[in-house]
Structure 1
Amino acid sequence: MRLMLSSAIVLGALSLAACGGGESSKPVTPANSNASGTAAKASTGGITGAGASFPQPIYAQWAQDYNAAKGSQVNYQSIGSSGGVKQINAKTVDFGATDAPLSKEDLDKNGLVQFPTVIGGVVPIVNIDGVEPGKLKLDGATLANIYLGKITKWSDPAIKALNPDVNLPDAVITTVFRSDGSGTSFNFTNYLSAVSPEWKEKVGAANSVKWPTATGTAGTAGKGNEGVANFVRTVKNSIGYVEYAYAKQNAMSHVSLKNKAGNFVQPSLETFSAAAKADWSSAPGFGLILTDQADANAWPIASATFILVQAKPQDAAKAKATLSFFDWVYNSGDEAASKLDYVPLPADVKALVRESWKQVVDANGKPVL
């Protein structure tokens, strides 16, 4: 299956739209959305969600499979994590999606219940002639210095020292980053903050940051994982960051990264799983950050992705339908997730999540599911 990077993806009953904040270019034309980045309600039946582009490939597959199995529609719009949080708070969708977990304070303040669906990985991708996937090696400090604008050419000694056997051009590096508020950006910048004190001080970690290379010809912005992938595909000597499914399904050249244990690792189910060895029960709203984990095999920029639902929904039937979909996902969606290189949640974590769904109640205070 090839993940299309065109204006919209419709799988089964799922519609995709990419939209967000201001950007330097518009490689993706939004569908089922308006200019302000507000997700549109589905016109007929089903449930609607909006948010992170990180999990869009698996949400698309799950929606198609669920429609085939149950005859029920799920409409999901990829508008970025910030957009997903905004829409669930505005109660214009049945569920929001974010890769940057909300704190307990924010969940309580806005009356939300949060739970994870799968674990994946953010991967740097490059477009350099002759460089095959996984051949280019980078460590955290070098990656941070590229995005800080301190390393400006692929022939820089720091990159060559890590890649003595790779033929790298004496060419200017173009950095590609997200124009919209993005959980993928949060996890990427969270990692850079962990490995680079200078990045932490000057830029920090957030859904949206002031990119040091955003001015001039050194950088360009794209909407969603789709937009970043599209730019890297078309701009020679560029580097960007996307969820691994976008890189793999489009045969893009990803980077091998040096992890906290000092090992160069490739993105895979195994390295994502190694990063996810954590105590989920200890985190309110399951809000674990999985970047820069110490396991010897851990991918350095692993991430869970999360769903947000109203604890006291206005429409209990829609809330029940939403949780029923994710209950089906937990029962029947693991194989599809693995095929797209996402790590399914362990059975004990799924049990904890199902218990947390009791917080979603109707007008009489009874659990909707």
Structure 2
Amino acid sequence: MQSTPLRRALTAAAGVTATFALASCSFGGSGGGDQVKGNLNGAGASFPAAIYTRWFQELAPQGVNVNYQSVGSGAGVRQFTAGTVDFGASDKPMKAEEIAQVKRGVLQIPMTAGAIAVAYNLKDCDLKLSQEQLAGIFLGKISNFKELGCADQAITVVRRSDGSGTTYNFTKHLSAISEAWKNGPGANKSIKWPTGVGAKGNEGVAAQLNQIQGGIGYVESAYVKGNLQAAALTNASGELVKPTNETESLALDSIDLGPDLIGGNPNPPKGYPIVTFTWILAYKTGNADKTDRLKKTFDFMLSDTAQSQAPSLGYVSLPAGVVEKAKAAVSEISQ
């Protein structure tokens, strides 16, 4: 996903509530039409916040008011589990033991997809990283851009300070390509980082990187804007690849989501090597009078209109087969 004027125009404020009116026309949810109105509250992943924000904004001005808080996957799962929101969002699927804590049942619905870019702030540097170099940077073993073939500039690693599905997917990739990483920091939504300074949300990391010459970190590709560039990374086949819609689609097409729609591949052999789906977390039962609002909202997000916007916003449209399975999951939401 290359930087474009439209993507540079994206704005998403970390932790700030974005409230938008969801249009009341029918998008295939049950009970459609003008009768489906009211409020919904959701919270979770910052990875898809930019596209969720745009979708809700474009569905204004009236209907269902969707209040989505970009607080990170960890906080989103906690709020969903506690029942303080109508839906959650996470870049890391919930585990069986987490699902067991939710008495109303859990549906994990893939909603969009994208790549995690290694973003950096250094002019006139076309960064191309081997797997060893990528791990070395975040292990703190490589501390200057001159070790990577660029100018003499100290490296400042910027990473997430909050529980994050982006962190989980990024560290999962590092664990797949580096034994030192796998046997050291490992993969999780929160880890003990060997180096770097922390920032909250994809938005926070991107903002920090834009202020630090020599900064390098990981963000969802839609946040590579301003002074930032995305490094080319080496995939499992040894190819150096930058994140673009084409290279990300190639990698995502190789992932089998499985019957529960939660599959992934931390090191795909084709295309850009750090790609992920991101999921809406919905309660299977106990939604009462909000059932139709939830269905209408999610059916719109999965509509051709919404999904076709993904590339221009820095994301990847879901494959048709995935959309079909996701819509079937939405139909299971009940009162």
Q: What's 2:211 paired with?
A: 234
Q: What's 2:116 paired with?
A: 122
Q: What's 2:179 paired with?
A: 197
Q: What's 1:21 paired with?
A: none
Q: How does 1:201-216 map to 2 (within 5 A)?
A: 201-213=183-195
CA distances 1:66-97 after superposition (whole Å, capped 9, x unpaired): 224x6332111100000110111111111100
One-letter amino acid of the structure 2 residue matched with residue 267 of structure 1? P
Aligned pair partner of 2:308 in 335, 338, 348: 335
Q: What's 1:169 paired with?
A: 151
One-letter amino acid of the structure 1 residue matched with residue 299 of structure 2? D
**Is the counterpart of residue 4 in structure 1 residue 16 in structure 2?**
no
One-letter amino acid of the structure 2 residue matched with residue 271 of structure 1? T
Q: What's 1:288 paired with?
A: 263
- Cα distance in 2, alignment partners of residues 88 and 12 from structure 1: 18
Change (3 A) 1:5 1:311: closer
CA distances 1:299-343 after superposition (whole Å, capped 9, x unpaired): 111010001011222x42223312211101211201221211211
One-letter amino acid of the structure 1 residue matched with residue 183 of structure 2? E
- Cα distance in 1, alignment partners of residues 38 and 155 from structure 2: 47
- Cα distance in 2, alignment partners of residues 9 and 233 from structure 1: 20
1:50–1:93 contact (8 Å) kept in structure 2? yes
- Cα distance in 2, alignment partners of residues 12 and 181 from structure 1: 23
Segments of 5+ residues of structure 2 without an aligned counterpart are 1-5, 22-36
Q: What's 1:138 paired with?
A: 129
Q: In structure 2, the residue corresponding to 1:13 is in which secondary structure?
A: strand
Count residues in correspondence. Answer: 310
Change (3 A) 1:236 1:293: same
Identical amino acids, percent of aligned pairs: 38
**Is the counterpart of residue 188 in structure 1 residue 164 in structure 2?**
no
Q: What's 1:93 paired with?
A: 85
Change (3 A) 1:72 1:146: same
Q: How does 1:1-369 map to 2 (within 5 A)?
A: 1=6, 2-4=9-11, 13=20, 45-68=38-61, 71-110=63-102, 111-131=105-125, 135-156=126-147, 159-160=148-149, 168-213=150-195, 219-248=196-225, 250=226, 252-278=228-254, 280=256, 282-284=258-260, 286-295=261-270, 298-313=271-286, 315-331=287-303, 332-362=305-335
Tell me the CA shift for residue 262 of structure 1: 1.0
- Cα distance in 2, alignment partners of residues 325 and 241 from structure 1: 30
Q: TM-score, normalised by structure 1?
A: 0.79
Tell me the CA shift for residue 360 of structure 1: 2.5
Q: TM-score, normalised by structure 2?
A: 0.86
Segments of 5+ residues of structure 1 without an aligned counterpart are 15-43, 161-167, 214-218, 363-369
Tell me the CA shift for residue 10 of structure 1: 7.0
Superposition CA RMSD, Å: 2.1
CA distances 1:224-266 after superposition (whole Å, capped 9, x unpaired): 0011001110011110110011114x45211111111111111
Bigger relative contact order (CA 8 A; separation at least 6): 2
Tell me the CA shift for residue 171 of structure 1: 2.6
